[in-house]
Homo-oligomer: A and B are copies of this chain.
Amino acid sequence: MELKEEIIRRAAAAKRAAYALANVSTETKNKALLAMAESLQANKDDILFKNEIDVEAAKEAGLSAALIDRLLLTESRIAAMIKGLQEIAGLKDPVGEVISSTERQNGLKINKVRVPLGVIGIIYESRPNVTVDTAGLCLKSGNAVILRGGSEAVNSNHILAKTIAAAAYTAGIPEGAIQFIETTDRQAVLEIVKQDKFIDVIIPRGGEELIQFIKEHSSIPVISHGKGVCHTYVDVEADLKMAEEICFNAKVQRAGVCNAMETLLVHNGVAMDFLPQMAARFAGAKVELRGDEKTLAILKGIKAATEEDWSEEYLDLILSVKIVETVEEAEAHINKYGSHHSETIVTNNKKRAEEFMRAVDSAAVYWNASTRFTDGGEFGLGAEIGISTQKMHARGPMGLNELCSYKYMVYGNGQVRK
């Protein structure tokens, strides 16, 4: 009961802050972002000390090396957070922009104006930089934020949040605009996602299990950033040299990210020409291949793909490979097993490319380019809070505009409805 009251108290305070923050000037918000950056620099030693406590506890608890690395803060990782905040200060303020405007026959002038969402709840796992990055993006877009990080990183997250919240407040941001829930009690998540009176949107950032848990329990709208099971389809009319470069880049350039390729689909008309050379290139980068039956007939000795492989997000140097008879088979495979994130077709046939891009139900669909470009920066949106794999509100990379709603401002001179 005490926990519930505490969450309600915090959520209500965030709502009050959000009303004030919606009308804070761009200048004050930018000043606050730079002050937050400076405060991280000034408190660097304390931050590293608190992070050590988390890292030691993680080692004692036997967490994997990969998880401990995600948790770890270093001088250069703190410098990256500082740079991130400075970059957000340099982005265009989305709040107040007139998105569209119309004048009706009765003389009413209707402006559709961008406004903040209000209060955003971020529920995230592991990486402590999320605390700083998301708080910065929410502040610039005029939103109050309630942060709930993973228990492994609680000491790191707590000091990061405390540091930047204090700096923001001193710079003129309303009290309560950046809140961190420091309890590690999992019940807190359940209480947060029920505060639909105060919180406008929940953004979970983490594994599938966390996202599914929140979708099931939240009475607040959720924007989920799901996994990326991205595909490259090499068409019968592909430029095979281009296909090789795109596939290699999509798999190898950075394997542990959501826009990396996890499944390669190849038209049977070019499989014999394409696959052996491609496989040799992948072998050089130590990529493990897992093929369907037809692929195994061409690439002897590779592992067979199981049914589970087709929907697996490896985030690693592993690739499933399947030979298809038609572009329609590729499209159907992607829509069935994919995660609606990013897919590309390599072909010289424009009509087929456009048909593929229409038929595939993903946030980003490419013709003759690597899926690795699905990213707020690469799309010209500036810093991103994540990549949405759902269709409501925002799809694909979410920048500052996507952290906003809108309102209709209607100007009259006495109009009444007939």
A interface residues, Cβ below 8 angstroms from B: 19, 22-23, 102, 104, 108, 110, 117-118, 196, 200-201, 212, 215-216, 219, 221-223, 239, 242, 245-246, 248-250, 253, 335, 357-359, 361-370, 372-374, 378-380, 390-393, 395-396, 405-417
Instruction: Decide: A417 and B249 in contact? CB cutoff 8 A.
Output: yes
A221 to B216, CA, bound (A): 10
> In the complex the two chains form, is A378's CB within 8 Å of B408's CB?
no
The docked-state distance in angstroms from the alpha carbon of A396 to that of B112 is 10
Q: Which of B373, B374, B378, B392 contacts A393 (CB 8 A)?
A: B392
Each complex incorporates copies of this chain amounting to 2
Interface core residue of A117, A335, A379, A391 (most chain B CB under 10 Å) = A391
Do A110 and B372 touch (CB < 8 A)?
Answer: no
CB distance from A297 to the nearest CB of B (A): 29
Contact check, A196 vs B215: say whether CB atoms are below 8 A apart: yes
The residue in chain B whose Cβ has the minimal distance to the Cβ of A346 is: B414
Contacts A216-B219, A373-B410, A392-B117: A416 and B245 contacting too (C-beta < 8 A)?
yes
**B-chain residues with CB within 8 Å of residue A408 when the two chains form the complex:** 363-365, 374, 379, 395-396
Partner of A415, one of B216, B363, B370, B396: B370
**Given A365-B407, A417-B370, A391:B200 Cβ within 8 A:** yes
Q: Can you show 29 pairs from A to B with CB atoms below 8 A apart?
A: A19-B359, A22-B358, A22-B361, A23-B359, A104-B380, A108-B369, A108-B378, A117-B392, A216-B219, A221-B390, A221-B392, A223-B392, A239-B414, A242-B414, A245-B416, A362-B407, A365-B408, A365-B410, A367-B409, A368-B412, A368-B415, A369-B411, A369-B412, A369-B414, A370-B415, A373-B417, A374-B408, A395-B405, A396-B408
